[in-house]
Amino acid sequence: MIDPPREGVKEAVSICKRAGIKTVMITGDHILTAKAIAKDLGILRNNDLAITGKELDNLSQLELEKNISKYSVFARVSPEHKVRIVEAFQEKGAVVAMTGDGVNDAPALKKADIGIAMGKNGTDVAKNASDMILADDNFVTIVEAVKQGRNIFENIKKAVHFLIATNIGEIVTIFMGLLLGLKAPLLAIQLLWINLVTDSLPAIAIGLEKPDEDIMNKKPRDNKKSIFADGLWGKIIVEGIMIGMLTLVAFSIGNNLYGLEVGRTMAFIALGMLELVHSLNVKSDESIFKVGLLENKYLIGAFILGTLLTIIVAVVPIFADIFSLVPLTGSQWMFTLGISILPLVIIEAQKKLNELKFGKTKTIGERVPWIN
């Protein structure tokens, strides 16, 4: 007689391993039964060990903490053993997620960083002690939730990256213009429009980006690290300066060759388009030609809508008057749009150089146990 594992669990355990997540089995079954199932699922591998609750009683907590990473199967355990196991992994610096359904699981569920109770067969005690309730009682759903969680974090990071970089670009435009003794490159109403349209729409769309294909092949991030760790602050500042300086180039060309109003109009259109183009750069650490331009329809929609609104404001007289803009000639439009696409060229070249020098970008982190 055998109670076979659910369909898809073996594949889910394999995905966890690639994602740097250690899956651990804690069961009341006999150790031989537990080992057989764990081997079949890929939880118990060649160098992994299995241990019983009786053997755990003979180990001090210090010994358990020292060797906890070696164990993948715990059989015939009590509620006290489960708490000890969770604490041992936590002492090693791991973030621990614990699943359970019974009253005896409640202490460990409460102790774990993420307690996950079963929604169908779980007791009320287990549900109340947990942080999350698994509606379908399926381990595969947990893995999918990890994938979605990683994607949400990455999208928040991308949106923050984009917003701060573009705002730095606006600050550089105004501040450097004053330092260089130029008249204000942009008026307050023009900056307000850029903040409302070319900042906000792409940022919202970036937040709806689909998960990268290799998102579950990356190691977990260090939860002690800031969202700006691993050089993100430096990248944001450099990109912000790039956007600001290119806007000033557009303003200087217009101001020196055609007059102040033309310069401001070119700076306004250039800054708006620079930000829209830069949203495509932030989409992925890889080249947008690899990940695909059309994957995120919301971002494409935001880009097209932002471009159309910027052009309408610049060419329709009633709106142009409100924003103190003037009509541009063909050559002025060419200068402005040529400058606007430069961030795409520059960042794509930088991504290619990084790929040639360092290979594919990897996220560094610690292994994070899932205890089941």
Q: How confident is the model at residue 370 (pLDDT cuts 50, 70, 90)?
A: low
**Within a 10 A sphere around the Cβ of 292, how many other Cβ atoms?**
11
Tens digit of each residue's pLDDT (9 = 90 or more) over 234-252: 999 999 999 999 999 999 9
Token output for 128: 């109340």
What pLDDT, on the 0 to 100 scale, is given for residue 223? 78
What pLDDT, on the 0 to 100 scale, is given for residue 359? 64
> In the predicted model, is pLDDT for residue 127 greater than 60?
yes
What pLDDT, on the 0 to 100 scale, is given for residue 335? 94
Residue scoring higher pLDDT (258 or 353): 258
The percent of residues in the chain predicted with pLDDT above 90, rounded, is 71
What pLDDT, on the 0 to 100 scale, is given for residue 351? 84
> In the predicted model, is pLDDT for residue 182 greater than 80?
no
3-state helix, strand, coil in the chain (%, to 5): 65, 10, 30
What pLDDT, on the 0 to 100 scale, is given for residue 90? 93
Q: Indicate the DSSP class of residue 185.
A: S
Residue 100 has φ and ψ, to the nearest 5°, of -175, 165
> In the predicted model, is pLDDT for residue 367 greater than 50?
no
What pLDDT, on the 0 to 100 scale, is given for residue 3? 62
What pLDDT, on the 0 to 100 scale, is given for residue 2? 57
What is the DSSP pairing of strand 71-75 with strand 21-27? parallel
Token output for 32: 């031989």
Q: What is the mean pLDDT of the chain?
A: 89
DSSP per-residue letters across 110-126: HHSSEEEEETTT--HHH
Tens digit of each residue's pLDDT (9 = 90 or more) over 267-298: 999 999 999 999 999 988 888 888 777 888 99
In a 13 Å sphere around the CA of 232, the CA atoms on its Cβ side amount to 18
**Residue 138: its H or E element:** none
Tens digit of each residue's pLDDT (9 = 90 or more) over 203-218: 999 999 988 888 898 8
> Distances from the Cα of 345 to the Cαs of 245, 284, 348, 354, in angstroms?
15, 15, 5, 14
> In the predicted model, is pLDDT for residue 350 greater than 50?
yes
What pLDDT, on the 0 to 100 scale, is given for residue 157? 93
What pLDDT, on the 0 to 100 scale, is given for residue 8? 84
Can you name the residues that pair with 368 across neighbouring β-strands?
Answer: 21
> In the predicted model, is pLDDT for residue 360 greater than 60?
no
The set of residues, in sequence order, having a beta carbon less than 8 Å from that of 154 and lying 6+ positions away, is 209, 211, 212, 215
Q: How confident is the model at residue 4 (pLDDT cuts 50, 70, 90)?
A: low
Global confidence as pTM: 0.84
Tens digit of each residue's pLDDT (9 = 90 or more) over 90-116: 998 899 999 999 999 999 999 999 999
Residue 268 CA to residue 258 CA, distance in Å, equals: 15
Q: How confident is the model at residue 221 (pLDDT cuts 50, 70, 90)?
A: confident
What pLDDT, on the 0 to 100 scale, is given for residue 224? 81
In whole angstroms, what separates CA 20 from the centre of its chain?
16
Q: What angle do CA 47, 50, 54 make, to 5 degrees?
A: 150
Q: What angle do CA 193, 199, 200 make, to 5 degrees?
A: 95
What pLDDT, on the 0 to 100 scale, is given for residue 126? 93
Find the Cα–Cα–Cα–Cα dihedral 270, 276, 280, 284, rounded to 10°: 110
> In the predicted model, is pLDDT for residue 365 greater than 70?
no
Residue 146 has φ and ψ, to the nearest 5°, of -60, -45
Domains of the chain: 9-143 (3.40.50.1000), 150-362 (1.20.1110.10)
